[in-house]
Amino acid sequence: MEENEFFGEKTFQHYCAEFIKHSQKIGDGWEWRASKDCSDGYMCKTHFQVKNGTAVSHQGTSDHVQTFLPVEEALDPPLDDLEVNETTTAAEVIKYEYHVLYSCSYQVPVLYFRASFLDGRPLALKDIWEGVHECYKMRLLQGPWDTITQQEHPILGQPFFVLHPCKTSEFMTPVLKNSQKINRNVNYITSWLSMVGPAVGLNVPLSYATAASQDEGNVDGQDSSIERKSLEEH
C-alpha cells in the first residue's frame, strides 16, 4: 500500500495488525486491547527491566552510570515479583507500559507510556531518560522528543506520559518519501516506533522492518472487517 503521513483509523488498525502478527512470531509481547464499547482500541506492550546503580552492563561503562538491563539478562533463572524483591539488593525491577493509540485530530499514531517500580512507585520522566542508552542520547536531544508531556490516557483515564503527535508528520514525511522513491513497502507503525521508541527505552527489533518490506498487502473496505476481527482476537 502507498504510505502517507496522515491516515484513517482503519489503516492504523491494519498497520497494528501486521505489527502484532510479527510480534507474535518473535515473542515480542505486543497485543491489541479493545475499549469497552469495542469501537476503538490500542496496541500495547508491558515489560520489565532491572535498574542497577552499580553493575556494569557494557564494557567500558562507568560504575557510576545507571544502567538498565533486560530482566532476562540480569536474572537467571527468571524470578517472580516476590522473589525479585527478596533477592535483588543493588537492583530494582521496573515495569514499563507502552500504548500506541490513534489520534483522530492529527491522524497519526501516538505513544503513551509509563513506568513504575514493583511496589507501585512511579518513575519521573528524568528517571526514564536515564534508562536511554548513551548511543541514542545525543541524537534524541535534538529530535522531536522534547514534546513529551503528561496527559490522561484517553481510554483508561489514567495519567501517562505521551509523545505529542504535533511533530510526527514532520519527521515521518522524509522517511515515507524515501521508501516510495526506492519502491520499498514499509509499515508506518514500524518506522515511527523505531524512531520514537528509543527515547523512552523501547527498542524495535530489526526483523520488524524486514517483515514490513515483504508485506505486499493493502487496505480496502473488504479487508477492514477482517483486520478488526483479528485485532479483537489479540
Known catalytic residues? Answer: 166
133 within 8 A of 198, measured Cβ to Cβ: yes
Neighbours of 196 (CB within 10 A): 27
Type of residue found at 169: S
Going by C-beta distance under 8 Å and a sequence separation of 6 or more, which residues neighbour residue 200? 98, 111, 113, 128, 132, 148, 161, 163
Residue 198 three-state SS: helix
**Helix, strand, coil percent content, the chain, rounded in steps of 5:** 40, 25, 35
Residue whose C-alpha is closest to residue 119's, from 82, 68, 90: 82
Q: Among positive and negative, which fits the CA dihedral 147, 44, 158, 109?
A: positive
Distance CA 216, CA 192 (A): 19
Distance CA 234, CA 229 (A): 9
Could you say which DSSP state residue 53 is in? S
